[in-house]
Chain A
Amino acid sequence: MRRIALAVAFLVAPLAVAACGGDGDAEAGGGDADLTVYSGRQEGLVGPLFERFERETGLTVEVRYGESAELAATIAEEGENSPAEVLFAQDPGSLGAVELEGLLAPLPQNVLERVPARFRDPDGYWVGTSGRVRVLAYNTDALADDEVPDSVFELAKPVWKGRIGFPPTNASFQAFVTAMRLSEGDERTREWLEAIRANDPKLYENNIQTVEAIAAGEIDLGLVNHYYLYLVKAERPGAPVANHFLSGRDPGALVSVAGVGIVAGAAGNEGAIRFVEFLLSDEGQRFYAEEAEEAEYPLVRGVEPREGLPPLERLGGPRIELDELGPELERTLELLSELGFTS
């Protein structure tokens, strides 16, 4: 019986610890901090921003990290009882979903105006905090920069058969397809997707996996956001991957944003407003240009992006508004599913 007793001890010991209040800190929940933020942006990327905000304001912040969409759904389920005061999200879609539930508070005008109109909610419920650009990432052993197409439409040619890949279930890929539908029309988008399908693309779960596959030579070229390159390079500096920025009004050059909104229950909360102001301050914006591993674009005028990145104004992208993307998403998903790209 000794071993059984040992096994029991192994399983029961934690209960004893819990009963003795060994988890006192952990049980604190959202009650003690000055500000509670739900962050769909990863700790490894934005953790330093929170630390700096705490240092500068003396306010304490508690951050619940998770996937943006799931945190949005959580706020919706929590309803009026949400402990969240701020939602810091990876994409406009998550913010728009919470806005649609009536669970975001309008942001002050002076905060909104820090950012060009195309990067914020026209109704003023959320604002972009950093920009990301759709690019063609390519394997530098397989292709030279001038061999990479300047338009996604060229990828429909048979020469790319078996050489391209993308993550069809990823929100930013879906936003790109939606942007193509809005700027080029449904018919042309469907033709493009059918041609792409005929080229036997490799489908991946997410952007990181896609860029890793490019680095591994599994595919020559992938449709992703620009900053995943830097994440993969941080892990393996010698990885043979580079970004190719698309030109003009090509839908493949869509610029989207990560953004922030204040949860309805925290309307008028001083700390929440200060946090949003901090994210859009010159200092908060310079973080992306100077420090952040992933080198996103600052959105506030006058703060330059990381050296080597083409300026945001030069990247046209399709003529669409970011808030048009959400309502059109369902049609895009139907199209992708119908063509067999997603379930």
Chain B
Amino acid sequence: MIAAATARFRAGRPAGRPSPALVGGALAVSALVALPLVYLVVRVFGGGGEGLTVLARARTGELVAETALLVGAVTAAAVLVAVPLAWLVTRTDIPGRRAWAVAAALPLVVPSYVAALALLAAFGPTGLLQRLLEAPFGVERVPELYGLGGAVLALTIATYPYVFLLTAVALREIDPALEETARGLGRSSLAAFARVTLPLARPSIGAGALLAALYTLSDFGAVSLMQADSLTRAIFLQYRSLFDRTPAAGLALVLVALTAVVLTLELRARGGGGYARLGAGTARAAAPVRLGRWQWPALAFCGAVVALALGAPLAVLGYWFSRAASLDALVDASRAALNSVLASGSAAALAVVAAIPVGFLAARHPAWWSRLLERLAYGANALPGIVIALSLVFFAARYASPVYQTLLLLVFAYVVRFFPQAVAASHAALLAVSPRLDEAARGLGRGPRHAFASVTAPLVAPGLLAGAALVFLSAMKELPATLLLRPIGFDTLATEVWTATTVGSYSQAAVPALLLVALSAPLVYLLIARGKAELSSTGS
């Protein structure tokens, strides 16, 4: 009720039509990031429709069902883990909340196959837990980790940080006065949060959930180590075993169709409403909810999540490292680290710049076509990395050979692969800024671009940065496209980890993997742990 009394409005269109430059920019960006879809169509239909025979196989139907189950379970689990976590670290007096915030976001940089290996080492048939339970309690076998359950666990760990980061940023930006008013009107803290703040954070939670779902759709590392079935695993196996690109492309189109369903569901869940506020909001930080004796279960919850998602992989990496630490490995890894930061940083900056017209158009000029453009940007994201990589090989080797296998193309591949993360963040951030502000600036004689730069941009900066950070962190661990598209000899941390693990030298993999986490930590800290002083000056 209170939410309705605030500046809630039907996502209305601002006065005037979108400028041709804006529409042109959004069109160009969407067309570029949708290139992999074009490639799939060329592959499937260029082969005389032979690729469509996969549609007729009964196995394909089973795969779709298994994939849908996996995605549904992971997305639900990720939201259930991430939203309470985000609330605890932004709105309560939980001890050490900044440290929790950083630790909870960091699993984002742990490659999912490292996370899966860690889970197996800890909870597998001969893992740590088994050994701990076996001697004193005579437990013969811990429950089976391989299969769907293990994959859901590993992927929840890999994906909840998306929901967590976007939700935490949103919760911090939402004006606490609204919730306080609700409490003043007699609601309990929890009810006030659930009825007022949560609906306001819904676009961000939805965007995070969407990213989690898309990640799950495209993941190969965790599902293959856990021996769970999914469309992406089937696509990889088609490439690896049969060397036939046509049925793989057919399956990839099925995956695109499934992605379309997920995108539609998210759009529905988001609802037609939007909300915006006029000021920068948060003239002050929210007065933290006192947890009292609930502090202990809350700490236990944070502790359990962080132990599983960050502690276990770090412990496994530390163990590998201790087996055979060498200085040479560190020298190699630091060169790779520079390359990783160079490529991922460029991709993050480029992705955010490219996301602005698409996100802006969808948020400010909602119409079927602007939404379609925005959704198109997501279309390629659920594709396995190998499909995106081969599609860019196809186009670049044929039509853009000067850039083929250069850093430029690698950066472009990262942008294509992770574009939705930038769009999701910028779209959610733009939705939260009232177009009336922009209009006021224009009414005062500013041009549209100037109005955007001087009024809207500072307000959406935190959201855009969150998007940039997501792209950066994802690109840091990207492997399949990196292997095929990097300039020859351009090693990244992710390729160094791969080089070592494929020949079983896990001790060699530990240094680059640990460096991956260490390098990403400061960025996560900057984004998530902004202090009170910061909050009060944002956008003022």
Contact = CB atoms under 8 A, between A and B. Distances in A.
Contacts, number: 199
A291 B246 CA distance: 41
A70 B342 contact: no
A65 B496 CA distance: 11
B530 interface: yes
Interface in A64-81: 64-67, 69-74, 76-79, 81
Interface string B461-491: 1100100110010000000100110011110
B149 interface: no
Contacts of B503: 42, 44-45, 208, 231, 294
A67 B505 contact: no
A10 B398 contact: no
A18 interface: yes
A206 to B, nearest CB: 8
A62 B488 contact: yes
A323 to B, nearest CB: 14
Interface string A154-185: 00000000000000010100100000000000
Contacts of A217: 126
Interface residues of A, number: 82
Nearest to B458: A1
A196 B296 CA distance: 50
Contact of B404 (A65, A83, A213): A83
B394 A4 contact: no
B295 interface: no
B327 interface: no
Contacts of B462: 4
Nearest to B499: A43
B401 A81 contact: yes
A234 B506 CA distance: 11
A76 B245 CA distance: 9
A235 interface: yes
Contacts of B234: 343
Contacts of A305: none
Given A18-B407, A74-B393, A205-B224, A330 B527 contact: no
B126 A23 contact: no
B472 A11 contact: yes
A209 B342 CA distance: 33
B243 A29 contact: no
A64 B480 CA distance: 13
The DSSP consensus for interface residues of chain B is helix
Nearest to A81: B397
A78 B341 CA distance: 28
A333 interface: yes
Contact of B526 (A6, A202, A330): A6
Interface in B520-540: 522-523, 526-527, 530, 534, 537-538
A211 to B, nearest CB: 8
A337 B538 CA distance: 57
Given A13-B345, A208-B503, A36 B242 contact: no
A7 interface: yes
Interface in B332-359: 339, 341-346, 348-350
A66 B146 CA distance: 27
Given A7-B469, A218-B124, A343-B234, A78 B487 contact: no
Interface in A286-326: 294
A57 B512 CA distance: 33
A144 interface: no
Interface string B63-77: 100000000000000
Nearest to B539: A1
Nearest to A337: B59
Given A44-B505, A174-B241, A231-B505, A30 B488 contact: yes
Contacts of B323: 235-236
A228 interface: yes
Contact of B397 (A70, A78, A231): A78
B465 A29 contact: no
A12 B465 CA distance: 11
Contacts of A71: 484
Contact of A42 (B401, B406, B502, B522): B502
Instruction: Give me the 8 closest cross-chain CB pairs, A-B, nearest first.
Output: A14-B345, A97-B243, A208-B504, A78-B397, A343-B229, A231-B504, A7-B526, A14-B342
Given A94-B243, A206-B502, 13 more contacts: A2-B534, A13-B345, A26-B490, A42-B499, A44-B508, A62-B489, A63-B489, A73-B243, A83-B404, A202-B125, A211-B504, A234-B505, A343-B233
Interface of A: 1-4, 6-8, 10-15, 17-18, 22-23, 25-30, 33, 36, 42-45, 62-67, 69-74, 76-79, 81-83, 93-94, 96-97, 100, 169, 171, 174, 202-206, 208-209, 211-213, 216-218, 228, 231-232, 234-236, 294, 329-330, 333, 337, 342-343
22 contacts: A1-B537, A11-B349, A14-B343, A25-B489, A29-B405, A29-B406, A30-B488, A65-B483, A73-B386, A74-B390, A76-B245, A78-B393, A81-B404, A83-B405, A203-B146, A208-B503, A209-B225, A212-B504, A218-B126, A235-B504, A329-B242, A330-B242
